[in-house]
Structure 1
Amino acid sequence: MWSYVGGVSVLNEARGREPAGLVGRAREQTELRALLAGHRLVTVSGCAGVGKSRLASAVTDTMTQGPWRRVVTVRWQGRGQGAPGALGAAAVGALTGVRPDRHTADAGAVVRSLPAEPTLLFLDDVDPVHAECMGLVQHLLMAAPTLRVLVTSRHCLGLGDEHVLALGPLSVETPDGADGLPAAVELFERRARAVVAGFRAAGADLAAVEDMCRTLEGVPLAIELAAGQLARHSVRELAAKLEHHQSWLTGRHSGLRRHRSLRDAVGAGYVLCERAERVVWARVSIFAGSFAESTAVYLCAGGGVEPHDVPGCLARLAARGVLEPVGDPGGVRPPRYRMMRAVREFGSARLREAGEFPVAAERRLGHCRRVAAVAANLWSTGGQRQAVRLLQNERDDLTAMLRHARTQPDHAGTALETVVNLWFWWGVYDNAAEGRDHLTRLLPVCDAGSALNMRGLWLAAWLTAHSDPQAAEVLLGRAWPSAVLAGDDAVIGRLAHVEGLLALHRHDERAAAEHFRHAADIIPPYAPGGPSAAVSRAAQAVAQAGFAPHRAQRSARRALTVPGVRDDAWATAVARCAGAYADHRSGHSGRARQRARRTLAALDPELPAPHVCAALRQLIADIESGSPGRRRLPYVPPPRAGRVPDAAARLTGPSS
């Protein structure tokens, strides 16, 4: 039977739970049983809607054999902070059957009223009375040796004898070698069958369900609420709607009132935060991906929040499950955090309500500009691995900033500078389509006569030459006069490099080799902002290999002597690949294969593979198959009818 004391519900009988709620939780159930059998204080923690109460209830209901004779459950059913003494009063009522006044039910009264029989006290969902719960549990465990306590909360109590089971979202991917559906997809299907009889996703619908579960990040409550929407939306309509936002999800949930809406489930934690924590929550919600503690300090400081307060707020939000530490929490690296999407949407709504979104967007713009500048400097000074790792960490926020800047004319110049500084991210790591899209939208709204616009035109031409040679020629026509008038040798040389790419499209190897030679001769040593002279010299070798293999070998060797090439890992790989290709065309296939393998082995396997890797692997395959080689340049169109293209490497530019 249920009874209510001070806003707390008390249950003294076993309760059943439908099996669908525990899909994918077999390991956690086993682990929780082992913890309860071996320890006196166990806490199940996790973010909102992850299923803490459901898991704990199912285990206590089915664990008939344990070091206790009865299970007493106390659950908070109120909204917001609990009144002082409410938890103690509920515990006394549950353990003794007497309903005392909450003003007199302190921890001492509970201890004096404890029965002698071994008991498991299940304190469910104690976040609103967290501070009182800490004191109560500590007194109980010290005074009653036969008592065990199970707690569910968004964060642990922090007591010394506490053992914590951190409950995460359901898996959205099938483990390698495993059969069946991911746990999140299986839960969706089971809940969907309660709405649509016989529901089973297949084909495009199954792909939509999988995408939906990834968007919802495997949170069981969100998945169940989404499945309940199938009465009004098809699977694919629902997936598209959730891709834009998910806080609108609601349903007739049989449990707590706040679980009837995803927004209310997240907001229940918001009302428990201090003012500074709420402000930090709202402000960091502008980050689309993970962010560093130092970045959060820069963005959140001001408006009543001191810079030195931000790290503490982040740590407390992480303890409450609002933020998720990523990387190596507590390690030597600076801490980084991320927000689940539903939490971020809730914070973003609070940020806009407070009228602070424009300021936050301005600060994010400045942060992304600095990230791009640092990454460009690292790339040009020998820290290419660090540059790529930095961009991997910041990619989501860079993308969000650039998309927002398209709608803000005041931000367009800074956004274009960011895109141009990241030329290597677009061109070297096969992100050319994304880079082209940003440039296409930003160039028309920026100053056409500026040096930045000239560099943007060069980059757009370089990224476009493969997918649309005619458009690349138009861009070159716009960029050449500005580059010549400005006397910028680096841009002039790189424009000549693009001319070489277009000549290769026309299958004119001799003209291409001449353009690449001109580019290599004119690009200054150590010139930042684009491919070095070594890359153009390597491209010259590739073009020459079709009609003068021995000259191509000399050009490839010269590429490795360009000043600064040893500090440029990508240019070195391109030059060595060109040398291997020239060796192969000259009849030294064994040496070419050995060089190609050494070059591949020298690349960092933890980083994205630059497009030169495809050329190296293709070259090795051609050598082992006895083929003279096939043209694999990213800017060479499909072969003309009746013509087999010559072999080359994917060296001279980004692929689409």
Structure 2
Amino acid sequence: MWTRIGDPEAPPASQGWEPGWEPGLVGRERETAELRELLAGRRVVTVTGAAGVGKSRLAATVVAAAGDGPWRHLVPVRWHGSGAGGHGSLAGAVAAALDGTRHGREPADAETVAAELPSGALLFLDDVDPVHGECVGLVQRLLMTVPDVRVLVTSRRALGLGDEHVLRLAPLATESPRADGRTAPAVELFVERARAVAPGTCADEAELAAAARVCGLLEGVPLAVELAAAQTVCRPVGELAALLERDQGWLNSPRPVLRRHRSLREAVGASYVLCDREERIVWARASILPGAFAEGTGGFVCGGNGVAPREVPACLAQLAACGVLEPLGDPGGVHEPRYRMTRAARDFGLERLREAGEFPVAAERRKSHCRRMAAVIENLWHTGNQDQAVRFLLGEHDNLTATVRHAAEEPEHVEAALEIVVGLWFWWAVHDRAEEGRELLLRLLPLCPEGSRPTARALWLTAWLSAASDPAAARALLGRAWPAAVLAGDDAAVGRIAYVEGVLALHRDDPRAAAGHFQEAAATIPDHALGGPSPAVGEAAAALAQADFAPAAARASARRALARAGVRDDAWTTLVARYARAEADRRLGRTARAWRRARRALDSLDPVLPVPRGHGALRRLLADLETGAPVRPAAARHALADPRPPDGREPHTVPRKNEPALEELLDGPAERL
């Protein structure tokens, strides 16, 4: 059994929580076992992680429970306060813990500590971020002069010593990865804490679902989860989730005695205080990006006016080291580093950005970046790199969406935002994000000038996205788009209006009319026209509509679609054309050939990426061929106009908040030509 030297209250296992708030290590079973193993075999162990993940709690609990550890004496030292203190202040605190007659604020040096440190001691340096530089030198000196000393450090950054082993704590999982149906660790912690202050909380499925939403919004940070659980005394869990959707910095509790744990804002602010001036500026400016971003994007958005662009990568790396940013992928790989800011740090950074008066400039830079990224993504799609386009879009989705939503409040940004949404037409229409895209368009269209080319393109896209949920509104929108497209001389928009007419005809179960509209689209849309379906897509869609009433003609139309230049690299057009050929072969009695075509079309899709429209219809066709089921009518509608997503869920419902915007948009003339 080891003996404890120094103040028995520093650091306590409860880490500042008053009685009734036991620390607990919910979801930390693996980290607890790993830390015990490291303390038994390593001389220097540093527990790192972002603010509020429970570094001190884990370390103190493990040390307190390790009564038979390989050390004979425990020397716990916690750095109090947020200031760095003078030279030798940390060594002075250690010396004061070793010698009870010494004042804790008296400076000391490493030689004094080494002389007083007992043999076989574990030096526990807790929360040393304000004196991080001195801690590195002190630990290095002790390792050289005291052969049997062991050091356990808790800090938001590693020390960077060669003998150091780092245990980095991540937030708790908010979704259970286990197949046994157990509650996710973050939700388990929330429920435990909520029931401690408000018995009977989370007693039904609705409240448990709301608790899971709360933990997801808080990204599983234990301190944030506990502060949120404390709020259940005065408000229901569902209301708490709605409040956290808007902001998180207000979370607070009077129970923690550590000042920085009294609110989430203070916990994050403790990291902000320790940053250099340039790092604080980069933190505030990078908070304008809600999603993941590359190092180059950070340089574009955060550089200038006090921070040179070449300094931004180093600042991003420092912010990642202290847990403000989360590195994505392999930070040492061949690809450009990517980061994502935690939600609490982003809310804090946005407050600083607005206080500095830099929010408009940062929003303008974000808009410029997103406009360029949307153009790159659209070109990737149209040049046959569709898998790459989807991957790129997934990485930029949150930033693009935030830019578009912000544009609804800034009239000078509306046109750029409309270009972004129209340029990403394939994401909304091909990958079944129709309601998301429709909502964004309905926000922007009432703010745009009538009769402009961007407005005409946005109108037909809104009509396409409305076809499944509101065909009448879609027809009215096409009525407004047609004269605008004709007056602007926009053949691509005219052809795409015809394409949407074909989709509406499929909803009326009129494949003959649909085939005519699709053929008109194929003949009208110019080759290589950006911003919507290509003429090859119109040809493939016509083939699919013809499969219902003229399978031989459908095979010919599908061959023409596949013979167009560049179509072999167009994954979506190829998918539709192959489905049309498979349907035509089936109706002509060539079931084996139809099965091979359908199987080949499905195998060509990337299983990692979101599946495009038509995937579910192909799978149903394949299942019908394997079971010998009768021919399904309306094959084209299932592939091109079925309101159900490919996974078979129920159709999306139109959010009520869209209805006023739609009524306002349709108030204008709707003459059909």
| TM-score class normalised by the smaller sequence | over 0.9
| Cα displacement string for residues 221-268 of structure 1 (whole angstroms, at most 9, x for unaligned residues) | 111111111111011111111121111011123342211111101100
Note the 1:141-540 alignment, pairs <5 A. Answer: 141-540=143-542
2:279 aligned partner, one-letter code:
E
Confirm whether residue 73 of structure 1 aligns to residue 76 of structure 2. Answer: yes
Confirm whether residue 623 of structure 1 aligns to residue 592 of structure 2. Answer: no
SS at match of 2:171: coil
* Partner Cα distance (1:16, 1:305) in 2: 41
SS at match of 2:339: strand
Question: Which residue matches 1:26?
Answer: 29
1:54 aligned partner, one-letter code:
R
The farther-off stretch of 343-352 and 548-557 is 548-557
Question: Which residue matches 1:642?
Answer: none
Confirm whether residue 649 of structure 1 aligns to residue 639 of structure 2. Answer: yes
* Partner Cα distance (1:13, 1:628) in 2: 73
Question: Which residue matches 1:64?
Answer: 67
Structure 2 residue aligned with 1:574, among 554, 573, 576? 576
- Residues paired across the two proteins, number: 639
1:283 aligned partner, one-letter code:
R
| Cα displacement string for residues 57-95 of structure 1 (whole angstroms, at most 9, x for unaligned residues) | 011101011221111100011123233221111111222
* Partner Cα distance (1:242, 1:123) in 2: 34
Give the deviation of 1:19 after TM superposition.
5.3
* Partner Cα distance (1:395, 1:13) in 2: 44
SS at match of 1:194: helix
The farther-off stretch of 624-633 and 181-190 is 624-633
| Cα displacement string for residues 388-428 of structure 1 (whole angstroms, at most 9, x for unaligned residues) | 11110010111111111111111111100111111111111
2:93 aligned partner, one-letter code:
A
Question: In structure 2, do the counterparts of structure 1 residues 631 and 248 end up closer, same or farther at CA, with 3 Å as the change threshold?
Answer: farther
Tell me, yes or no, if the aligned pair for 2:5 and 2:97 is still in contact at 8 Å.
Answer: no
Give the deviation of 1:42 after TM superposition.
0.4
* Partner Cα distance (1:101, 1:185) in 2: 41
SS at match of 2:124: strand
Question: Which residue matches 1:564?
Answer: 566
The farther-off stretch of 89-98 and 347-356 is 89-98
* Partner Cα distance (2:466, 2:202) in 1: 44
* Partner Cα distance (1:89, 1:250) in 2: 33
Give the deviation of 1:488 after TM superposition.
2.6
* Partner Cα distance (2:104, 2:511) in 1: 93
2:73 aligned partner, one-letter code:
R
Tell me, yes or no, if the aligned pair for 1:632 and 1:650 is still in contact at 8 Å.
Answer: no
Question: Which residue matches 1:645?
Answer: none
Question: In structure 2, do the counterparts of structure 1 residues 254 and 42 end up closer, same or farther at CA, with 3 Å as the change threshold?
Answer: same
Tell me, yes or no, if the aligned pair for 1:510 and 1:544 is still in contact at 8 Å.
Answer: yes
Tell me, yes or no, if the aligned pair for 1:50 and 1:168 is still in contact at 8 Å.
Answer: yes
* Partner Cα distance (1:2, 1:52) in 2: 20
Give the deviation of 1:651 after TM superposition.
6.9
Give the deviation of 1:484 after TM superposition.
2.5
The farther-off stretch of 609-618 and 193-202 is 193-202
Confirm whether residue 38 of structure 1 aligns to residue 28 of structure 2. Answer: no
Question: In structure 2, do the counterparts of structure 1 residues 177 and 508 end up closer, same or farther at CA, with 3 Å as the change threshold?
Answer: closer
The farther-off stretch of 395-404 and 177-186 is 177-186
Question: In structure 2, do the counterparts of structure 1 residues 403 and 632 end up closer, same or farther at CA, with 3 Å as the change threshold?
Answer: farther
Give the deviation of 1:202 after TM superposition.
2.2
Give the deviation of 1:48 after TM superposition.
0.5
Tell me, yes or no, if the aligned pair for 2:287 and 2:341 is still in contact at 8 Å.
Answer: yes
| Cα displacement string for residues 181-221 of structure 1 (whole angstroms, at most 9, x for unaligned residues) | 11111111211122113444321000000111111111111
1:42 aligned partner, one-letter code:
V
Give the deviation of 1:630 after TM superposition.
2.8
* Partner Cα distance (2:134, 2:608) in 1: 47
Tell me, yes or no, if the aligned pair for 2:90 and 2:107 is still in contact at 8 Å.
Answer: no
1:341 aligned partner, one-letter code:
R
SS at match of 1:609: coil
Question: In structure 2, do the counterparts of structure 1 residues 651 and 236 end up closer, same or farther at CA, with 3 Å as the change threshold?
Answer: closer
1:114 aligned partner, one-letter code:
L
The farther-off stretch of 119-128 and 65-74 is 65-74
Tell me, yes or no, if the aligned pair for 2:96 and 2:104 is still in contact at 8 Å.
Answer: no
Give the deviation of 1:103 after TM superposition.
5.5
Note the 1:11-160 alignment, pairs <5 A. Answer: 11=9, 15=13, 20-99=23-102, 104-115=107-118, 117-160=119-162
| Cα displacement string for residues 25-66 of structure 1 (whole angstroms, at most 9, x for unaligned residues) | 111111001101101100000000100001000111010112
SS at match of 1:338: strand
Structure 2 residue aligned with 1:552, among 551, 554, 559? 554
The farther-off stretch of 346-355 and 174-183 is 174-183
1:58 aligned partner, one-letter code:
T
Tell me, yes or no, if the aligned pair for 1:429 and 1:654 is still in contact at 8 Å.
Answer: no
Percentage of matched positions with identical amino acids: 59
Tell me, yes or no, if the aligned pair for 2:378 and 2:424 is still in contact at 8 Å.
Answer: yes
Tell me, yes or no, if the aligned pair for 1:421 and 1:529 is still in contact at 8 Å.
Answer: yes
The farther-off stretch of 130-139 and 234-243 is 234-243
* Partner Cα distance (1:628, 1:525) in 2: 38
The farther-off stretch of 242-251 and 178-187 is 178-187
SS at match of 1:337: strand
| Cα displacement string for residues 492-513 of structure 1 (whole angstroms, at most 9, x for unaligned residues) | 2211111222222222222222
* Partner Cα distance (2:550, 2:232) in 1: 66
Question: In structure 2, do the counterparts of structure 1 residues 613 and 122 end up closer, same or farther at CA, with 3 Å as the change threshold?
Answer: same
* Partner Cα distance (1:13, 1:44) in 2: 15
Give the deviation of 1:654 after TM superposition.
9.7
1:575 aligned partner, one-letter code:
A
Gaps of 5+ in 1: 637-647
1:459 aligned partner, one-letter code:
L
* Partner Cα distance (1:455, 1:372) in 2: 16
Question: In structure 2, do the counterparts of structure 1 residues 632 and 440 end up closer, same or farther at CA, with 3 Å as the change threshold?
Answer: farther
* Partner Cα distance (1:561, 1:259) in 2: 65
SS at match of 2:445: helix
* Partner Cα distance (2:551, 2:10) in 1: 87
Gaps of 5+ in 2: 16-20, 646-651, 653-673
Q: TM-score, normalised by structure 1?
A: 0.94
